């Protein structure tokens, strides 16, 4: 999927240009290329998490320590961060989240539907500004806008990368 690789590489450049120094993630297929770029880059501290909630707290710590970070996750992982967002909210920590969506466009697995459909409303209920990108060419620009908003205005911002961008999960291994 050349398109997917393209936007991943551009997003990586945007994060570096924005001064992101810590990238936290639970592995996700849609983020595979971006995660690999972060791992390969020795200026970015990449932190694999046992659960996404850890990433929200980690990035609060990063900001307390003077650094910028980003949290990469799948929409199902958003369900694991809700309460911890209270801390980012209450302390007014910048928090940049890039979320690959499941449970919306051609989803095969019905168990992904509840959290996929609830991702945007639950994030917004917790005070997160949500931006969406539903075409590959829109992803880099949307991440750049989100990064600027998050780091310069000190807010929680999530970019939801639509499932239409990632494509159907390939079950034919």
Partner 1 sequence: MADSSDIVLDRRDVVSRILAARGDALLVTGLGAPTWDAAAVGDHPNNFYLWGGMGGAVPTALGLALAQPDRRILVLTGDGEMLMGIGSLATVAIQKPENLAIGIIDNQHYGETGMQETATAHGVDLAAMAKGAGFGLTATVRTEDDLVAAIPLIFDAPGPVFFDIKVTAVDQPMTLPEKDGLAIKHRFRAELLGDTAQK
Partner 2 sequence: MTEYTLERRDVVHRILKERGDAAVVTGIGNASHDVASAGDDPLNMYLFGVMGGAVMTAFGIALAQPDRRVMVITGDGELLAGIGSLATVGVEKPKNLSIVVIDNQAYGATGGQLTHTAAGVDLVGIAAASGIPRTALIEDESVLESAIKDIYQGEGPYFAVVKVVAVAAPRVHVPNDGTLTARRFRQAVSGKVG
Q: Which 139-158 positions form the footprint of partner 2 (CB under 8 A)?
A: 154
Kindly report each contact of residues 114-117 with a partner whose C-beta sits within 8 Å and lies 24 or more positions away, as own/partner: 115/75, 115/76, 115/78, 115/79, 116/75, 116/76, 116/163
12, 28, 155, 163: residue in contact with partner 1 (rule CB under 8 A):
28
Nearer to partner 1, 74 or 150 (CB): 74
16, 32, 45, 148: residue in contact with partner 2 (rule CB under 8 A):
45
27, 61, 114, 121: residue in contact with partner 2 (rule CB under 8 A):
61
Count residues contacting partner 2 (CB under 8 A)?
33
Q: How many CA atoms lie within 13 A of 3 on its CB side?
A: 10
CB of 20 to partner 1, least distance (A): 20
16, 21, 32, 131: residue in contact with partner 1 (rule CB under 8 A):
32
Using rule CB under 8 A, residue 22 touches partner 2: yes
Using rule CB under 8 A, residue 83 touches partner 1: no
Do the Cβ atoms of 168 and 106 come closer than 8 Å? yes
Using rule CB under 8 A, residue 29 touches partner 1: yes
Q: What is the dihedral of CA 29, 34, 39, 44, to 10 degrees?
A: -140
Tokens in use for 126? 């917790």
H-helix segments, 41-172: 52-64, 75-78, 85-91, 113-125, 139-153, 163-166
- From residue 63 to residue 102, the character string flagging contacts with partner 2 as x (rule: CB under 8 A) and all else as - is xxxxx-x-------------xx-xx--xxxx---------
Q: Which among partner 2, partner 1, none contacts residue 164 (Cβ within 5 to 8 A by kind)?
A: none
142: left (phi over 0), alpha (psi -120 to 50) or beta: alpha
């Amino acid at each position: 999927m050349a398109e997917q690789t393209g936007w991943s590489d551009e997003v990586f450049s945007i994060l570096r240009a924005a001064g992101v120094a810590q990238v936290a993630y639970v592995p996700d297929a849609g983020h595979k290329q971006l995660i690999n770029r972060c791992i390969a880059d020795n200026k970015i501290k990449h932190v694999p998490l046992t659960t996404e909630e850890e990433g929200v707290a980690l990035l609060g710590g990063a900001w307390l320590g003077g650094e910028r970070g980003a949290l990469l996750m799948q929409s199902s992982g958003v369900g694991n961060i809700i309460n911890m967002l209270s801390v980012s909210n209450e302390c007014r920590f910048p928090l940049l989240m890039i979320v690959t969506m499941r449970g919306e466009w051609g989803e095969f697995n019905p168990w992904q539907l509840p959290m996929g459909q609830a991702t945007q409303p639950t994030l917004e209920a917790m005070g997160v500004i949500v931006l969406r990108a539903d075409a590959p060419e829109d992803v880099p620009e949307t991440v750049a806008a989100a990064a600027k908003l998050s780091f310069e205005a000190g807010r929680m911002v999530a970019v939801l990368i639509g499932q239409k961008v990632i494509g159907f999960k390939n079950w034919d291994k």
